[in-house]
Amino acid sequence: EGKSYELPMESLGFNYNFEEIVDEAYSFGKDQKLFGKYSLIKNPSDKKIEYKYSYNEEVIDTFVQGIANELNKEAKNATITISGSNIKVTDDIKGYKVNGDAIKESIKAKLSEGITDNITLEGSGEVVEAKITAEALNKIDTKISSYTTNYSSSASGRAYNVELSARSINGTVLMPGEVFSYNQVVGERTASRGYKEAGVYVGNK
């Protein structure tokens, strides 16, 4: 998104196997017998010793997570409100997700090639579509059905609980193919969530 981020080399805490390299070089030929050592001295040849290094990968993880924290954005669903015959739809908002794993792998791949200059990488991300779009909700242009029930004879505790549950359900959007779950939408009916003690039906009683 036109932004740049810098990861200083020194922050990675590089460690090299210098002692192993020196030990290997110093011990080269020492296992040979007298004539073998003499041959190595008289006919020297190049001996390549590869160095190895390690670094703190958690620094890279933290670096990439910081980018994600700044740029990642949750998608927001479109909403619909119905008042009588008036229907109003609020637009959905697209989200964004940084491809953190790809950025990490790119950094590690470049480090494995050896560093002779600044490394420049292009990060990537993807747009996250809202689950419920305004386009889908705009297809709703009329009331499909209605139902009315009366609970005026209920005790005050039950009446209060019915209204509290109804407020949780109000505005729920059920897309084609989805199943409505009362428990999932309303949640636990507990005192800590504001519900009052009241009679309930158990086994038709």
| Stated length of the chain | 205
CA distances (Å), origin 144, targets 137, 141, 188: 14, 9, 29
H or E element, residue 107: helix 100-112
For residue 58, pLDDT beyond 90:
yes
For residue 2, pLDDT beyond 90:
no
DSSP structure class, residue 29: T
- Backbone torsions φ then ψ of 68, nearest 5 degrees: -60, -40
What tens digit of pLDDT does each residue of 121-161 get?
A: 999 999 999 999 999 999 888 878 888 999 989 999 999 99
Helix axes 57-71, 100-112, angle to 10 degrees: 140
Tokens for 12, please give them.
């990675």
For residue 55, pLDDT beyond 80:
yes
**CA 152/CA 163 separation, integer angstroms:** 12
pLDDT score for 60: 94
For residue 172, pLDDT beyond 90:
no
CA-angle at 10, arms to 5 and 16, nearest 5°: 130
- Shortest CA distance to 109 belongs to which of 119, 99, 98? 119
- Entry pTM: 0.61
pLDDT score for 184: 94
| N- to C-terminal Cα separation, the chain | 61
Mean pLDDT is lowest, of 122-126, 160-164, 197-201, for: 197-201
pLDDT score for 106: 93
% of the chain at pLDDT higher than 70: 100
What tens digit of pLDDT does each residue of 70-97 get?
A: 999 999 999 988 887 788 999 999 999 9
Res. 189 pLDDT band, cuts 50 70 90 = very high
